[in-house]
Amino acid sequence: MKMAIADSWAELLSALLLVVAAIYGMREYSEHKSGVQVEQMERLYDVFDSPAMVARRSGAAAQPGKFSRDAHEVFLFFEKVARWEEKGLINVEDLQYYFQDALLLYWHVWEPAIKDIRRSEGQNPNTGDLYQGVQRIVERMERELGVKPPSDAQLKEWLEFERQRAVPSSAPPEVEKGTARSEQQGS
């Protein structure tokens, strides 16, 4: 009888240790995943704020609502971001923190043009494939996180900010290069 009680206690203790280990493991995994998500968001933001992307954003903002190559590149970036969110690599709360204004700007300014393209391709303008990920993220931010669509004044202000963000080339203008070479040759 004592042996049976000891075995029962041993089994109970083993089960309890397994539960504690599982909880600890889940907590560690959650913390690790959160850290990885922060790293991913930082990398994405670095790409978004890189001189090349800032130039694309500025070019897109110079032609609001028109599908230039620059606008397409910005939307492709956000489609990648949306795909990462869909796969669980990042979350919508982090997207709100890092990209809320830009996502709202690009979606709301270009939405009519996107819907026109969808319609011209025979798709439902509200559910077509073109930039569906961007639309999904913006709608989730507005629906689940209570983010309000921007006013026309905010959109205008954000567009102006994007236009002015273009990073000037670090190379001197060609005229100055020619002038400098001429001066060096004349010395």
Place of tokens 């991913």: 40
Domain of residue 98 covers: 36-167
> Mutual orientation of helices 2-48 and 69-86 as an angle, nearest 10°?
180
Measured distance between the N- and C-terminal CA atoms of the chain, rounded to whole angstroms: 107
Is 117 within the bounds of a domain? Answer: yes
Q: Is the pTM of this model over 0.75?
A: no
- Give the residue among 51, 109, 45 at the shortest CA–CA distance from 77: 45
The number of domains in the chain is: 1
What is the per-residue pLDDT for 34?
Answer: 56
Q: What is the pLDDT of residue 178?
A: 38
pLDDT in tens, the chain (187 residues): 666 776 777 787 777 777 666 665 555 555 544 566 789 899 999 999 999 999 999 999 999 999 999 999 999 999 999 999 999 989 999 999 999 999 999 999 999 999 999 999 999 999 999 999 999 999 999 999 999 999 999 999 999 999 998 755 443 344 333 333 333 444 4
Name the residue among 107, 7, 2 with its Cα closest to residue 60: 107
The pLDDT value recorded for residue 171 is 39
Amino acid at 152: D
Residue 85 lies in a domain: yes
Per-residue model confidence (pLDDT) at position 19: 67
Within a domain: 94:
yes
With 0-12 / 13-18 / 19 or more C-beta atoms within 10 angstroms meaning exposed / middle / buried, residue 111 is: middle
**Which helix or strand (DSSP H or E) is residue 114 part of?**
helix 92-120
pLDDT of residue 26: 57
